[in-house]
């Protein structure tokens, strides 16, 4: 079959890498792709947000199946438009993607269907939000309601920081329209983890757990980012915890969305906080995580295209996912200055040597090929990923591959996986 993957990040390179291995995949395209996807798919110069052009390409190229990577086109309704044309796709409709598109919507759903989460309130006026903060203890969390590329969450240690966060989001419009409404919520203590499940509207198939590192620098210091590394399995998500997450969080969400007239199809990515009382939902994403998708694809033994098709066609009740016993780890290499200002256009060398390290694959995110050179074009640029018999061995191999890469303009954290190794 002809398959189109939409997106240009490390997640999309990993999806293309896995889908290309399926015997069912006859021709694979990626729009717009990057220098890494070009090795396993044909890149198409169409922006992931250009729904009209994507639709036209899918029709003109006889695409049988579209896999939508990023949240933007999902929230904008790409799947809805493909459905109307009879083109099969993986991902939720716009109504389903509201779980990621509006944090306030998700919090209200949790309240209505008894899904454990932090206490909260939602506001569309800054003064009202500040009044709420005056009557609640700190630390406290302020979130832009809409899509903010993973950067719209501010953890505030005291009330002054919280007031400043309200100003930044609602008055200074640091995240644009995403900040016209905010959620202010209780700060949860515990261990953070990511959990993924495929959902076909009725049935949920648990995938795996992972833990990522959001802060830019070693020791979990510095500003929040889209993710500087991840590993799987996550020791905190054992089978007993999987059962609880499915029973207490995922399944009530699926039933709630169906009851709201928004049946969910696609992948549910639950950001969790786990303490002695069990799991609580921090937020939902309605697409594979980045960089968690990369470690998931490395550990997956099953045919990814088969799994995604079973999800789209409502066949998950008869589907299983098989996983490698090995652990996987990804170390993100980013441009110096990220998540703030950074320069584009620097050359990256040594990628072949990094890929040659045993068990390692370098997934590209913000890259482009020009005149035979690989250039950095984004903030998060590479995801150096490796398998190992345990997290420690995966970490050793990943950093061995990182050290083969010649890119003075880049940086990475050197402590990815510390939680699992400390255990």
Q: Read off the CATH number of the domain in which 337 is found.
A: 3.90.600.10
Residues 80 and 134 occupy one common structural domain: no
| Number of domains within the chain | 4
pLDDT over 80 at 150, yes or no? no
- Provide the pLDDT for residue 420: 82
Q: Tell me whether residue 310 is in a domain.
A: yes
Please state, for a pLDDT cut of 70, what percent of the chain lies above it.
100
Residues spanned by the domain of 309: 191-318
Domain boundary (68, 90, 112) is at 90
Residues 404 and 371 occupy one common structural domain: yes
Q: Give residue for tokens 């100003």.
A: 167
Residues 70 and 155 occupy one common structural domain: no
Q: Give residue for tokens 């983890």.
A: 193
Residues 142 and 33 occupy one common structural domain: no
Q: Tell me whether residue 97 is in a domain.
A: no
Q: Tell me whether residue 15 is in a domain.
A: yes
Residues 287 and 213 occupy one common structural domain: yes
pLDDT (mean) for 246-273: 97
Q: What is the CATH number for 153?
A: 3.30.1490.20
Calculate the average pLDDT of the chain: 96
Residues 195/270, Cβ–Cβ less than 8 Å: yes
SS (H, E, C) the chain: CEEEEEECCHHHHHHHHHHCCCCCCCEEEEEECCCCHHHCCEECCCCCCCHHHHHHHHHHCCCCEEEECCHHHHHCCHHHHHHHCCCEEECCCHHHHHHHHCHHHHHHHHHHCCCCECCEEEECCHHHHHHHHHCCCCCEEEEECCCCCCCCEEEECCHHHHHHHHHHHHHCCCCHHHHCCEEEEECCCCEEEEEEEEEECCCEEEEEEEEECCEEEHHHEEEECCCCEEEECCCCCCHHHHHHHHHHHHHHHHHHHHHCCCCCEEEEEEEEEEECCEEEEEEEECCCCCCHHHHHHHHECCCHHHHHHHHHCCCHHHCCCCECCCEEEEEEEEECCCCCCCCCCCEEECHHHHHCCCCEEEEECCEEEECCEEEECCCEEEEEEEEECCHHHHHHHHHHHHCCCECCCEECCCCCCHHHHHC
Q: Tell me whether residue 103 is in a domain.
A: no
Count of CB atoms within 10 A of residue 291's CB?
32
Q: Tell me whether residue 289 is in a domain.
A: yes
- Provide the pLDDT for residue 409: 98
Residues 169 and 255 occupy one common structural domain: no
Residues 418 and 312 occupy one common structural domain: no
pLDDT (mean) for 226-238: 93
Domain boundary (318, 342, 361) is at 318
- Provide the pLDDT for residue 109: 98
Q: Tell me whether residue 111 is in a domain.
A: no
Encode pLDDT of 284-303 as tens digits. Answer: 999 999 999 999 999 999 99
- Provide the pLDDT for residue 99: 96
Q: What is the CATH number for 17?
A: 3.40.50.20
pLDDT over 90 at 422, yes or no? no
Q: What is the CATH number for 200?
A: 3.30.470.20
Residues 309 and 196 occupy one common structural domain: yes
Q: Tell me whether residue 204 is in a domain.
A: yes
Residues 314 and 412 occupy one common structural domain: no
Residue 152: pLDDT band by 50, 70, 90 thresholds?
confident
pLDDT over 90 at 98, yes or no? yes
58: Cβ contacts below 8 Å, ≥ 6 apart: 4, 66, 82, 85, 87
Residues 208 and 284 occupy one common structural domain: yes
Residue 419: pLDDT band by 50, 70, 90 thresholds?
confident
Residues 265 and 169 occupy one common structural domain: no
Residues 284 and 256 occupy one common structural domain: yes
Encode pLDDT of 312-369 as tens digits. Answer: 999 999 999 999 999 999 999 999 999 999 999 999 999 999 999 999 999 999 999 9
Q: Tell me whether residue 142 is in a domain.
A: yes
């Amino acid at each position: 079959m002809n398959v189109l993957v939409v997106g240009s990040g490390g997640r999309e390179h990993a999806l293309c890498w896995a889908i290309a291995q399926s015997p069912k995949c006859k021709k694979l395209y990626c729009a717009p792709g990057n220098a890494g996807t070009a090795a396993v798919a044909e890149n198409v110069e169409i922006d992931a947000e250009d729904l009209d052009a994507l639709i036209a390409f899918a029709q003109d190229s006889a695409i049988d199946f579209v896999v939508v990577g990023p949240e933007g086109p999902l929230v904008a309704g790409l799947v809805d438009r493909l459905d109307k044309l009879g083109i099969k796709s993986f991902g939720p409709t716009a109504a389903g993607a509201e779980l990621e598109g509006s944090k306030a919507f998700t919090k209200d759903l949790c309240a209505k269907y008894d899904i454990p989460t932090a206490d909260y309130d939602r506001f569309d006026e800054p003064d009202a939000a500040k009044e709420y903060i005056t009557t609640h203890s700190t630390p406290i969390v302020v979130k832009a309601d809409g899509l903010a590329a993973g950067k719209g969450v501010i953890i505030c240690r005291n009330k002054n920081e919280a007031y400043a966060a309200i100003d930044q989001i609602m008055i200074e419009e640091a995240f644009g329209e995403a900040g016209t409404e905010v959620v202010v919520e209780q700060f949860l203590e515990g261990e953070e983890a990511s959990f993924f499940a495929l959902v076909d509207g009725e049935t949920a198939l648990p995938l795996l757990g992972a833990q990522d590192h959001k802060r830019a620098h070693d020791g979990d210091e510095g500003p929040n980012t889209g993710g500087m590394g991840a590993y799987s399995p996550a020791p905190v998500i054992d089978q007993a915890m999987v059962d609880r997450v499915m029973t207490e969080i995922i399944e009530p969400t699926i039933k709630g969305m169906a009851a709201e007239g928004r049946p969910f199809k696609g992948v549910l990515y639950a950001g969790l906080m786990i303490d002695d009382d069990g799991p609580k939902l921090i937020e939902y994403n309605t697409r594979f995580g980045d960089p968690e998708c990369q470690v998931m694809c490395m550990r997956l033994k099953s045919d990814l295209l088969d799994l995604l098709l079973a999800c789209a066609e409502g066949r998950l009740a008869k589907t299983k996912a098989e996983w490698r016993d090995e652990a996987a780890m990804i170390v993100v290499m980013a441009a110096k200055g990220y998540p703030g200002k950074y320069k584009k256009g620097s050359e990256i060398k040594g990628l072949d040597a990094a890929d040659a390290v045993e068990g390692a694959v370098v997934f590209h995110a913000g890259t482009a090929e020009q005149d035979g050179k690989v250039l950095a074009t984004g903030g998060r640029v590479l995801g150096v990923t490796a398998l190992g018999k345990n997290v420690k061995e995966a970490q050793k191999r990943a950093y061995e591959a990182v050290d083969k890469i010649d890119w003075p303009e880049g940086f990475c954290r050197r402590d990815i996986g510390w939680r699992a190794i400390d255990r």
